[in-house]
Amino acid sequence: MKKELIELQINGRSYELAIEPSKLLLDTLRQDLQLTGSKRGCDDSSCGACTVLEDGIPMLSCTMLAASCEGQEITTIEGVSEHGSLAAIQKAYGDWGGAQCGFCTPGFIMTVKHLLAENPEPTEDEIRNALSGNLCRCTGYSQMYQAIKAAIDAEQKGSAAVSAAR
Amino acid sequence: MTKDFSIIGKRIAMVDAAGKTSGAGKYTDDLSLPGMLVGKILHSPYPHARMKRIDTTRAEKLDGVVAVATGKDAPNTYGILPVGHDERALAVDKVRYVGDNVACVAALDEATADRALELIDVEYELLPAYFDPEKAMKAETDLIHDNKPHNIEKDYHHVFGDPEKGFAEADHVAEARFIANEVTHAAMEPHSTLAALEIDSQTGKPGRLTVWSSTQVPYYLQHKLSLVLEMPMSQIRVIKPLVGGGFGGKSEVIPLEIIAAIAARKTRAPVKITYTREEVFWAHRGRPRTIIDLKTGVKNDGRITAVKARVVQDGGAYCSYGVVTILYSGALLGALYDIPNIQYDGYRVLTNKPACGAMRGHGTVNVRFAFESQLDELAAKLEVDPAVIRRRNLLQPPCVTINGLRVQSYGLPECIDRVVERSGWKHRKGKLTRGRGLGIACSHYVSGAANSIIRSDMPHSTVNIKIDRDGGVVVYTGAAEIGQGSDTMTAQIAAEVLGCSLSRVKVVAADTDLTPIDIGSYSSRVTFMAGNATLRAAEEVKKQIALAAAKKMNCAVEELVFRDDGVFNSKSINVGAGVPPVQAPGGDERGRSSPHRSQDQASVSGRVEGQILRGSLQQQRNEEGPKDFMTFEEAVVAAIDFHGALAGTGSYAPPPEARGGKFKGAGVGPSPAYSYSAQVAEVTVDEDTGEVIVHKVWAAHDCGRALNPVSVEGQIIGSVWMGMGQALTEEMVWKDGLLMNPGLLEYRSPSSVESPEVEPIIVESIDPEGPFGAKECSEGSLAATIPAIANAIYDAVGIRLREAPFTPERVLAALRAKKNAKLLDLTEGIDPTAPERFREHGGALWFKGKGPERHASDPARRTEQA
């Protein structure tokens, strides 16, 4: 298949790429841009390890054509760290055992980012429902809930500190 | 207990956590090399067939195809067990399961490789195939392996004590058949291997092979590659990048690992092969479907008098770990309770399905389900509390069981007490509302096998430590981090012994060129064995530092204390009672040193001022005369000046007393230490739909000592959760050797909404031989969950489920049988050859042309008619 030139907005940067129109966003990220944080865990969109945000909405990059994402802002796990340091949710996942083997972790963090953007103080049931599209085989999910709560606390303390400083 | 330690027992993040949460960490499939090709494997479409002819010429001519490898390229056999060398990377004469490996295309891209697979012509002569182990055992002809009569891979017949006498003395005997269906690891990362042949920079010939692979056992991979490729081991380098979960599925050499190397050698280019999720299911090596005929005798007081088990495992087409699995099933009837008489007959049977191998709780899980269910049944018959009957059968350690297993630390009684207390067992059991119930069960597991797979006197783990003038501690270990936290455990032990902060320690792991041999991450051996090796290596280095420091500080070596990044003279400073001088031990409540502190250290030690200044600082200090305290870096520099270099080695081999009896098969089961678990599960059973919901599991686990409680709890929860999956939803469904559910959704790995709350309870029995008293914590809890749920279902609605998983169909069938009602057949009129689990959905699309009529009450049929 002949390649075509497309332009993608990823993690706040613009990339011009020559790719086959049939190429999936996941493969484009991993192979053409070496953004290998998004993982492929299945063949049939059942695991969620490839989750990215498209204009803030979590999407499975294994089911989207890269060419269809022109004009949208894509955020991958590589774009979650802020100013070169871990975001609160990333640190909390490490501290509370939310990540064991870590393969599903990028997908979960993208899903959680969206959850917290929509609903800054979710109940445990809301967290469970939000995470149900991502599979993890190590943790049994329990320590992720603790991590998410810790991240919310850290964010609140952080913003309280910022407003106090003002 | 933990107040004596500065790093052990603290809740800390894994040392590699940030790489995982930031997406920066590299797994095998994330790697690429210049000129790298993509490998794709052609699999057999038939369960059992002779290969008459294979023609790859059409595929080779396709534009973009570099080479096609077949069995002729590397026909040597291999297998993880020395007695089970029955596999070939690519088939030569026969294929033995749907998915067996036939050929491999290496091409410029994946699409070309996929097209080329269709152009390979293979002529098969179909052979009768065996899918049921009990039928396979009767076969005389068309055997799966010619040297295995009746398709029996291995059978063992063990008698300990006098079982017949034991049953004669029993007041009650229960006897039943239990079945646990096949499950698989389904680790999130599909297997992946990248292989490259380097050009020797001296001779210019293709020389060394480097393999990056998702493996739990880098050294076994190096060994098998050497066997198949006929290359010396020293010419093969195996590197294990991050591994996305193993659970046993990567604990042996998987065909793609060797196929990638064959293709790299043939194409003279780097080749990467990554399995699709469907291929992962075919590679399998999971827990076999197991048929257990179990008989248990008890006295009126609940004491067990004898146990007799006949176990048949549906092992699939190759040996894999099979001989070990069938031995574990019998051996680990011992070492949990005191059983005076045991008879065990185990059969590992070959069938035309993907090979089963080792999976979390290897060999014990299915038999434990049967045993704990039957014990519950006997408790009900005797009207004894199920928690009490377990307490009446405890071992009296230290002891050696009737089948030769040495038990030292034994936290089972405390585990039972803790879950009984936490779950409110005494006032809630039997008093919940209708349909809700509590069940209890126990389990145990080895902390590593006392005898290695390849029998030798070689240590099981070796660790090297190097410290240089910068004060950085580098630990070289062959132990394979697969997400369980082995690198963190290694760093913690080294830092604790040396009294330095965790951030000083860098772990270099699982690279056969750099790290000394460690036999791998399986049978929960890493903390116990690699941990002990780390401890010994660190002690050796510490001794060298102490010698130099004592000289400087003008005191005896015995008076030195290593702690908080410094070396203290214990006589002049009351260490541990207060804040040591010069610097306060920093660190937040989660045990990690604070960033401010490391800056302070840097300026004190001269890291910021530079090397020249350090010299003058030292001179200045030397002039001050003997001191009571040296920083870690000062002590290290003194030691290097004194010894010339600072390095240490430690290794671990299990003690001879722990290696078991002398009978045939005695090598499997013995371990230097056993972990123990007791669990209570709370469930609801919907009597109309048959659905079982697990609300909560209380899981107490005796891990010896929790080196890092966050990780220990994570492992306990993960084990319980995986056990719950096997208890309720997970099952591999077969039709004529074809897997019906090769995807994560159809396999039904539980998602967050189906997962119960698990309360992990850590019990510390402080093992006399474990590193700081630690034992395993990653597998032992899995086995208790299945019977705990089964027993809770009995408590809720009074049915005994003897076949796992406890799906709604099985629950409903048991409920109707209890009421003597006719079995509801929701599948009337539907393809009778379709697997049970799919009939209720119509099963139509799955079987070409055999599509059934839809059931009268199926809404889809109403729509069609309309």
Q: Look at residues A39, A14, A9, A20 and name the one whose alpha carbon lies nearest to residue A99.
A: A39
Do B678 and B633 fall within a single domain? no
Contact B713 A143 (CB under 8 A): yes
Per-residue pLDDT band at B364 (split at 50, 70, 90): very high
- Residue A17 CA, chain-centre distance (Å), reads 22
More confident residue, B863 or B224: B224
Residue of B nearest to A40 (CA): B189
Do B605 and B721 fall within a single domain? no
Q: Look at residues B443, B445, B448, B444 and name the one whose alpha carbon lies nearest to residue B523.
A: B448
In this prediction, what percent of chain A has a pLDDT beyond 70? 98
Per-residue pLDDT band at B583 (split at 50, 70, 90): very low
Q: How many residues does chain A have?
A: 166
Of A42, A103, A137, the CB nearest to B277: A42
Q: Which amino acid type is present at position B204? A: G
In Å, how far are B178, B306, B373, B386, B678 from B803, measured between CA atoms? 6, 23, 11, 21, 22
Of B25, B187, B757, the CB nearest to A137: B187
Cα–Cα distance measured from residue A151 to residue A153, given in angstroms and rounded to the nearest whole number: 5
Of B590, B717, B744, the CB nearest to A143: B717
Query: What residues make up the domain containing B595?
Result: 2-23+463-651
The model scores a pTM over 0.90: yes
B chain contacts of residue A139, beta-carbon cutoff 8 Å: 714, 717-718, 721
- Residue B71 CA, chain-centre distance (Å), reads 30
- What pLDDT, on the 0 to 100 scale, is given for residue B857? 57
Do B295 and B158 fall within a single domain? yes
Q: CA-based angle B241:B193:A109, to the nearest 5? A: 50
Instruction: Work out the angle between the directed axes of helices A105-118 and A124-131 (0-180°, nearest 10).
Output: 130
Query: How does the average pLDDT of chain A come out, rounded?
Result: 94
Residue of B nearest to A93 (CA): B21
- Phi, psi dihedral angles at A122 (to 5 degrees): -75, 150
Do B681 and B743 fall within a single domain? yes
> Which runs of E-coded beta strand occur in chain A?
4-10, 13-19, 51-54, 57-60, 73-75
Residue of B nearest to A142 (CA): B757
Do B277 and B338 fall within a single domain? no
Cα–Cα distance measured from residue B504 to residue B473, given in angstroms and rounded to the nearest whole number: 6
Residue of A nearest to B723 (CA): A140
- Phi, psi dihedral angles at B169 (to 5 degrees): -80, -15
Contact B483 A100 (CB under 8 A): yes
**Rg of the Cα trace of chain A?**
17
Instruction: Indicate the Cα dihedral angle B216, B741, B259, B195, nearest 10°.
Output: -50
For residues B501 and B562, the answer to whether their CB atoms sit within 8 Å is no
Q: Is residue B813 part of a domain?
A: no
* Tens-digit pLDDT profile for residues B244-264: 999 999 999 999 999 999 999
Which of A42, A109, A111, A145 to probe by mutation at the B interface, max B CB count within 10 Å?
A42
Contact A103 B188 (CB under 8 A): yes
Cα–Cα distance measured from residue B283 to residue B41, given in angstroms and rounded to the nearest whole number: 12
For residues B755 and A141, the answer to whether their CB atoms sit within 8 Å is yes
Minimal CA separation from A85 to chain B, in Å: 9
Cα–Cα distance measured from residue B104 to residue B574, given in angstroms and rounded to the nearest whole number: 67
* Tens-digit pLDDT profile for residues B640-686: 999 999 999 999 999 999 999 999 999 999 999 999 999 999 999 99
Minimal CA separation from B171 to chain A, in Å: 42
For residues B392 and B354, the answer to whether their CB atoms sit within 8 Å is no
B chain contacts of residue A76, beta-carbon cutoff 8 Å: 23
Contact B717 A99 (CB under 8 A): no
Give B55: exposed, middle or buried? Use CB within 10 Å, 0-12, 13-18, 19+.
Answer: middle
Contact B19 A102 (CB under 8 A): yes
B chain contacts of residue A102, beta-carbon cutoff 8 Å: 16-17, 19-21, 25, 242, 244, 483
Per-residue pLDDT band at B495 (split at 50, 70, 90): very high
Mean pLDDT computed over B270-286:
97
Cα–Cα distance measured from residue B391 to residue B395, given in angstroms and rounded to the nearest whole number: 9
What class has domain A4-79? alpha beta
Of A38, A99, A140, the CB nearest to B720: A140
Q: Is residue B141 part of a domain?
A: no
- What pLDDT, on the 0 to 100 scale, is given for residue B854? 53
Mean pLDDT computed over A136-160:
93
Minimal CA separation from A83 to chain B, in Å: 12
Cα–Cα distance measured from residue B24 to residue B527, given in angstroms and rounded to the nearest whole number: 26
- What pLDDT, on the 0 to 100 scale, is given for residue B156? 97
- What pLDDT, on the 0 to 100 scale, is given for residue B833? 62
B chain contacts of residue A38, beta-carbon cutoff 8 Å: 23
Contact A38 B753 (CB under 8 A): no
Residue of A nearest to B588 (CA): A95
Minimal CA separation from B744 to chain A, in Å: 6
Give B128: exposed, middle or buried? Use CB within 10 Å, 0-12, 13-18, 19+.
Answer: exposed
Looking up residue B502, the CATH number of its domain turns out to be 3.30.365.10
Phi-psi region of B827 (alpha: psi -120 to 50; beta: other; left: phi over 0): alpha
- What pLDDT, on the 0 to 100 scale, is given for residue B615? 55
With a CB-CB cutoff of 8 Å, which residues 49-78 of chain A face chain B? Answer: 49, 76-78
Query: How does the average pLDDT of chain B come out, rounded?
Result: 91
- What pLDDT, on the 0 to 100 scale, is given for residue A158? 80
Q: Is residue B144 part of a domain?
A: no
Cα–Cα distance measured from residue B841 to residue B836, given in angstroms and rounded to the nearest whole number: 10
Give B392: exposed, middle or buried? Use CB within 10 Å, 0-12, 13-18, 19+.
Answer: middle
Minimal CA separation from B3 to chain A, in Å: 21
Does the CB of A33 have a partner CB in chain B at under 8 Å?
no
- What pLDDT, on the 0 to 100 scale, is given for residue B417? 98
Minimal CA separation from A118 to chain B, in Å: 19
Q: Where are the domains of chain A?
A: 4-79, 88-161
* Tens-digit pLDDT profile for residues B353-362: 999 999 999 9
Per-residue pLDDT band at A82 (split at 50, 70, 90): confident
Minimal CA separation from A7 to chain B, in Å: 23
DSSP B355: P
Helix (H, G, I), strand (E, B) or coil at B853: coil
Peptide bond into B47 cis (omega under 30): no
B chain contacts of residue A77, beta-carbon cutoff 8 Å: 22-23
A chain contacts of residue B723, beta-carbon cutoff 8 Å: none
Largest CA distance in chain A: 58
With a CB-CB cutoff of 8 Å, which residues 78-137 of chain A face chain B? Answer: 78, 80-81, 86, 90-91, 93-106, 109, 127-129, 131-137
Contact A103 B245 (CB under 8 A): yes
Mean pLDDT computed over B726-748:
94
Q: Is residue B134 part of a domain?
A: no
Cα–Cα distance measured from residue B729 to residue B251, given in angstroms and rounded to the nearest whole number: 25
Domain end call among B592, B618, B651: B651
Helix (H) or strand (E) holding A26: helix A25-27
- What pLDDT, on the 0 to 100 scale, is given for residue B843? 42
Contact B245 A106 (CB under 8 A): no
B chain contacts of residue A96, beta-carbon cutoff 8 Å: 710
Is pLDDT at B572 greater than 50 in this prediction? yes
Q: Look at residues B473, B472, B474, B479 and name the one whose alpha carbon lies nearest to residue B448.
A: B479
Which of A74, A100, A109, A127 to probe by mutation at the B interface, max B CB count within 10 Å?
A100
Do B840 and B854 fall within a single domain? yes
Q: Which residue has the tokens 């096998």?
A: B449
Strand partners, B375: none
Do B169 and B257 fall within a single domain? no
In this prediction, what percent of chain B has a pLDDT beyond 70? 88
Cα–Cα distance measured from residue B415 to residue B413, given in angstroms and rounded to the nearest whole number: 5
Instruction: Work out the angle between the directed axes of helices B611-623 and B632-643 (0-180°, nearest 10).
Output: 90
C-alpha atoms less than 13 angstroms from C-alpha of B449 in its C-beta half-sphere: 23
Do B722 and B793 fall within a single domain? yes
* Tens-digit pLDDT profile for residues B786-838: 999 999 999 999 999 999 999 999 999 999 999 887 776 665 555 556 655 55
Of A76, A90, A101, the CB nearest to B188: A101
Do B669 and B609 fall within a single domain? no
In Å, how far are B324, B342, B469, B822 from B158, measured between CA atoms? 15, 8, 58, 42
Give B18: exposed, middle or buried? Use CB within 10 Å, 0-12, 13-18, 19+.
Answer: buried
Is pLDDT at B859 greater than 80 in this prediction? no
Q: Look at residues A62, A59, A72, A66 and name the one whose alpha carbon lies nearest to residue A33.
A: A66
B chain contacts of residue A137, beta-carbon cutoff 8 Å: 185-188, 245, 247, 722, 749
Cα–Cα distance measured from residue B378 to residue B717, given in angstroms and rounded to the nearest whole number: 29
Contact B18 A43 (CB under 8 A): no
Residue of B nearest to A30 (CA): B30
A chain contacts of residue B752, beta-carbon cutoff 8 Å: 127-129, 131-132, 134, 141, 144
Per-residue pLDDT band at A142 (split at 50, 70, 90): very high
Q: Is residue B135 part of a domain?
A: no
Do B70 and B198 fall within a single domain? yes
Domain end call among B651, B674, B695: B651
Do B467 and B572 fall within a single domain? yes
Q: How many residue pairs bridge chain A and chain B with CB atoms within 8 Å of each other?
A: 182
Q: Is residue B483 part of a domain?
A: yes
For residues B170 and B305, the answer to whether their CB atoms sit within 8 Å is yes
Which of A142, A144, A146 to probe by mutation at the B interface, max B CB count within 10 Å?
A142
Do B87 and B222 fall within a single domain? yes
Contact B718 A139 (CB under 8 A): yes
Residue of A nearest to B751 (CA): A132
Helix (H) or strand (E) holding B154: strand B152-160
* Tens-digit pLDDT profile for residues B754-780: 999 999 999 999 999 999 999 999 999
Q: Is residue B779 part of a domain?
A: yes
Contact B22 A44 (CB under 8 A): no
Q: How far apart are the first and last CA of chain A?
A: 57
Residue of B nearest to A98 (CA): B714
Count, in order, helices (H) and strands (E) of chain A: 5, 5
B chain contacts of residue A128, beta-carbon cutoff 8 Å: 752-753, 755
Domain end call among B595, B627, B651: B651
For residues B215 and A70, the answer to whether their CB atoms sit within 8 Å is no
- What pLDDT, on the 0 to 100 scale, is given for residue A43? 87
Instruction: Indicate the Cα dihedral angle B800, B803, B809, B814, nearest 10°.
Output: -20
For residues B592 and B502, the answer to whether their CB atoms sit within 8 Å is yes
Q: Which fold has domain A88-161?
A: DNA polymerase; domain 1 (1.10.150)
Contact A135 B484 (CB under 8 A): no
Total domains in the fold of chain B: 4
Is pLDDT at B287 greater than 80 in this prediction? yes
Is pLDDT at B2 greater than 90 in this prediction? no
